[in-house]
Structure 1
Amino acid sequence: MRAGSAAVQQQALKDFHQAMSNFFAGTHRRPTWRKAGRHEGFRVVAVKPGDVRRVSRRVSQVKVPKVGWVRFRWSRPVPNGARSFRVTRERAGRWHVAFAAIPDPIPAPGTGEAVGVDRGVAVSAALSTGDLLSAPGLRAGERVRLGRLLRRLARARPGSRRRAGVKAAIARLKARETDRRKDWVEKTSTDLARRFDVIGVEDLNIRGMTRSARGSVEAPGRNVRQKAGLNRGILANEWGALVRRLEDKAPGRVVKIDPRNTSRTCSACGHVAGENHKSQAVFSCVACGFRGNADVNAAMNIRDTAAGHAVTARGGPPLGRPANREPQHDLPLTG
């Protein structure tokens, strides 16, 4: 205890007190115990302007109490208002330093355009413009290597050095996949915030949708394996992270709508029927003959509903939808 910084240890107690206060207030869940290799790190407050200095084009240094100057890779400029930073170590063995600062929101383009975003498992995000976006994951060779490592892990003796090495290799692959998905979320959310004034998304209860179907001993669940695969697909496509970053970058411009019937409603004539949704990728209206990609059709319904909540000041048509729009038929299938 004496070898460490007293300020860092006091800050850990303050953070724990704040976490428990949030739990008893009902705004957050109960804080969990730290686990070795997963929650390694500490926070430093009262950072002075001279505690961060630039060494070269890609290298900088930060002054850590009781440690001294620590080098880190300069990935972006440190904001002037940053007064604290957190040093963490992930399971892949990489150390990170993150400076706490609230960036300015992205200004709206002012074009009056709206976009609908339909989130799915086969397609991560389908836009009303017709774009189909997919969150990247591991490549084919990396998936083969991951399967090989998992088999080696199953044969390794618990507590052995070999098992620790295999776990570290798996963590490095998982970290690579996580980095790619986070990068996709940041780039996609930034692009949408810069291009559109209104962004419509479905108001989904992701925590409830990804709840386990295992059940209990008295009432075991059904199709547990299929439900587990669906849960992994939902979480892998970063549904929650995409909307959360959109709300951070475009505050007040993200409209959440009721998800009911968005995939069964024809975006051309408004007819609602389960027979319209022929398959995962094909939508064919039984009333007017409109045909197109099912995800894009749902995104168009989301856009129209979201734009209805943001009418122009002159009382004109909703944003992103021209007046007297004529239905279009036989649109080409995409995806």
Structure 2
Amino acid sequence: MSRFRLYPTPMQRVALLEQCKHARYVWNLALEQWSMWTRDKGSTPGYVEQARQLTDARAVFGWLRAGSQTVQQQALRDFAQAVKNFHERTHARPTWRKAGLHEGFRVVGPQASRLEQTSRKWARVMVPKVGWVRLRVSRAIPDAKSYRVTRDRSGRWHLAFAAIPPPIPALGTGEVVGIDRGVIVAAALSTGELLACPGLTESEQDRLEQLQRRLTRCRRGSKRRRRTQAAIAKLHARASDRRKDWVEKTSTGLARRFDVIRVEDLRITQMTKRPKPRPDPQRLGNYGPNRRRAKAGLNRGILTNGWGALVRRLEHKAAGRVEKVNPAYTSQTCSNCGHRAPESRKNQAVFQCVACRHQVNADVNAAINIAAGRAVSVRRETPRRVSPKREPQLATSA
């Protein structure tokens, strides 16, 4: 997606929110119909039948007729595509859209091409039932047949064109790099580089803690609570923008420099799950400590470093050149001699092999193992390289 910042007027913001409300209402109605399916009732209405029902509803309800039919029909098309993706097991089950969280709609067809550039840095786009909305030109505007208007939690409006850029071509030098992702160091390369993902500064973190404490003292539904929530959302949006900018720049640099990029095959969704409660055997009905606060800190460190976003953007920009390696024991194996021992990992930053006394940064050592694509055997060492002409030997006991 090519996303641009929108600058609507106060009146246009109200009209855009109405369009978001209509798209969300139509989506939730289609989801309600689809959720009522049972084996004895037969199939639920598809897109064609739902579009016919939408036409009848617009003839009855004036507030729905005041919105754009293109936006409302496109919400039905998006839902039909979401259901298709769910049945093909490529996406999760469609969920309900909530006000303040899912604010956006899509425009397709000839209306999506009504865009004019007024100056070198500004343009305007014609949004149905809203009018001409100013657009900041931060890059070249692509030739797309549809776009999506969204509003984030901090109140900023964006317009994203559905135009996928081509992947970055490889240099052809055969350079291979391994990437080890961590909490202290966001990404360590096998070349020795240590990359850090920027986040909030210390003063901004103190400000966030103050606002969070103030939020607990605010009365629900008050204006003071809404102002505090807006200030918190602004800080979170700032951190998210910095993380996205770092991911884009880092992934572009890696895709341009190396031909093959190897990363750990991590299941981040399972890694960031909250710990299960531990029943106390001595007190029935009660639970013992399960270190949930420590796990929450670890989850926060994983998510704020953009582990999944970095690999996802690498797969987009370096299509077919990203390889996932089994992460087992990559941090305990010596990149020099291949000996594996947990004692070699002295601490978070130092790795010193107990066999060959090789010392290197722990994250860089793991990145070198990832770049080599090494798999560790159960004998606590990497298997030795043997000639392919040698006859297979019987395995000896460990």
Q: Which TM bucket (shorter chain)?
A: 0.7 to 0.9
Aligned match for 1:230, one of 298, 301, 312? 298
Q: Rg: which structure is higher?
A: 2
Please identify which structure carries the higher helix content: 2
Which whole-Å CA distance do the structure 2 matches of 1:95 and 1:67 have between them?
Answer: 14
Shift of residue 148, structure 1, vs aligned partner: 1.0
In the other structure, the counterpart of 2:326 is 258
Which whole-Å CA distance do the structure 2 matches of 1:178 and 1:283 have between them?
Answer: 32
In the other structure, the counterpart of 1:333 is none
How many pairs align? 305
Once the two structures are aligned, what percentage of the paired residues are identical? 63
Which whole-Å CA distance do the structure 2 matches of 1:232 and 1:145 have between them?
Answer: 18
Report the more deviating stretch, 52-61 or 160-169: 52-61
In the other structure, the counterpart of 1:267 is 335
Residue 14 (structure 1) aligned with residue 82 (structure 2): no
One-letter identity of the residue aligned with 2:175: E
Shift of residue 58, structure 1, vs aligned partner: 1.3
Consecutive aligned runs of 4 or more in structure 1 exceeding 6 Å deviation = 216-221
2:272·2:299 contact (CA, 8 Å) conserved in 1? yes
Which whole-Å CA distance do the structure 2 matches of 1:172 and 1:79 have between them?
Answer: 29
Shift of residue 66, structure 1, vs aligned partner: 1.8
Aligned match for 2:317, one of 221, 228, 249? 249
Shift of residue 26, structure 1, vs aligned partner: 2.5
One-letter identity of the residue aligned with 1:253: R
Determine helix, strand or coil for the equivalent of 2:123: strand
Which whole-Å CA distance do the structure 2 matches of 1:88 and 1:27 have between them?
Answer: 24
One-letter identity of the residue aligned with 2:302: I
One-letter identity of the residue aligned with 1:283: F
Report the more deviating stretch, 211-220 or 107-116: 211-220
- Deviations 1:108-151 (Å, cap 9, x if unpaired)? 11111111000000100000111111110001111111111111
1:264·1:276 contact (CA, 8 Å) conserved in 2? yes
One-letter identity of the residue aligned with 1:86: R
Residue 57 (structure 1) aligned with residue 112 (structure 2): no
One-letter identity of the residue aligned with 2:117: R
Determine helix, strand or coil for the equivalent of 2:155: coil
Which whole-Å CA distance do the structure 2 matches of 1:135 and 1:39 have between them?
Answer: 27
Residue 172 (structure 1) aligned with residue 234 (structure 2): yes
2:330·2:366 contact (CA, 8 Å) conserved in 1? yes
Determine helix, strand or coil for the equivalent of 1:147: helix
Aligned match for 1:161, one of 205, 223, 226? 223
TM-score normalised by structure 2 residue count:
0.74
Shift of residue 216, structure 1, vs aligned partner: 7.2
1:283·1:294 contact (CA, 8 Å) conserved in 2? yes
One-letter identity of the residue aligned with 1:25: E
1:109·1:196 contact (CA, 8 Å) conserved in 2? yes
1:214·1:221 contact (CA, 8 Å) conserved in 2? no
Residue 88 (structure 1) aligned with residue 156 (structure 2): no
1:118·1:126 contact (CA, 8 Å) conserved in 2? yes
Query: Which 5+ residue runs of structure 1 have no aligned equivalent?
Result: 307-335
Structural mapping, 1:95-106, within 5 Å: 95-106=157-168
In the other structure, the counterpart of 1:44 is 107
Determine helix, strand or coil for the equivalent of 2:243: helix
One-letter identity of the residue aligned with 2:334: C
2:113·2:145 contact (CA, 8 Å) conserved in 1? no
Shift of residue 47, structure 1, vs aligned partner: 4.2
Which whole-Å CA distance do the structure 2 matches of 1:271 and 1:214 have between them?
Answer: 35
Determine helix, strand or coil for the equivalent of 1:182: helix
2:112·2:147 contact (CA, 8 Å) conserved in 1? no
Query: Which 5+ residue runs of structure 2 have no aligned equivalent?
Result: 1-63, 280-284, 375-398
Which whole-Å CA distance do the structure 2 matches of 1:43 and 1:220 have between them?
Answer: 49
2:343·2:354 contact (CA, 8 Å) conserved in 1? yes
